[in-house]
Amino acid sequence: MKLFVTCLVLVAFACGKEEAKPPPAPPPPPVDLKLAADPGEALSVLQVKEKGSGEEVVVFGRISNFVKGFVTFNLVDEDLYYCGKGGAEDECKTPWDYCCVDAGERAKGTLAVEIRDADGRPKKGSVPELRLLDLVAVNGTVEKDEHGNVTVVASGWFRRERPELPDGLHWPD
């Protein structure tokens, strides 16, 4: 009986201990390519999608999402309507995903923006000064892949506008 009680006590202590987990990886460092001044005249997302690979451009649009852990985001043409742009009458709880726009139109009016590291891969990091739906002007070089996807490899950006959300909505973390 003593052995049975001793085993129960040992099992209780063993079960109560949590396995040591490695500490979480530190967040990627912020990347600051903020331009000191607005670069001026800029092309729309739709206009940039017509440009050829290698062309230097300034493009403007709204940020619709970030790739977590990388300095990469999607830029949506300013002429596309996002829910909430019209004011409180919109019921969408996530205006930054452009849920009020047809998926095909959204795809036509969107391009990727990324910063690359010295090896040409997407740079790890974050962009704390930018958030969803910010209207930004981005300096960079157009790159098109064999499928027609367009990326602007950015060298800097300037935030032109930060919209307010309708009452009751909050920016995601």
In the chain, domain spans: 28-161
pLDDT (tens digit per residue) in 91-117 = 677 878 888 888 899 999 999 999 998
Number of H helices, E strands in the chain: 3, 6
pLDDT (tens digit per residue) in 45-99 = 999 999 999 999 999 999 999 998 899 999 999 999 887 666 555 567 787 888 8
Angstrom distance (rounded) from CA 62 to CA 73: 10
- Give the pLDDT of residue 25: 61
Angstrom distance (rounded) from CA 41 to CA 152: 17
What the block records as the tokens of 109 is: 């009016």
pLDDT (tens digit per residue) in 7-23 = 444 444 444 455 667 66
At the top level of CATH, which class does the domain 28-161 belong to? mainly beta
Total residues belonging to the chain: 173
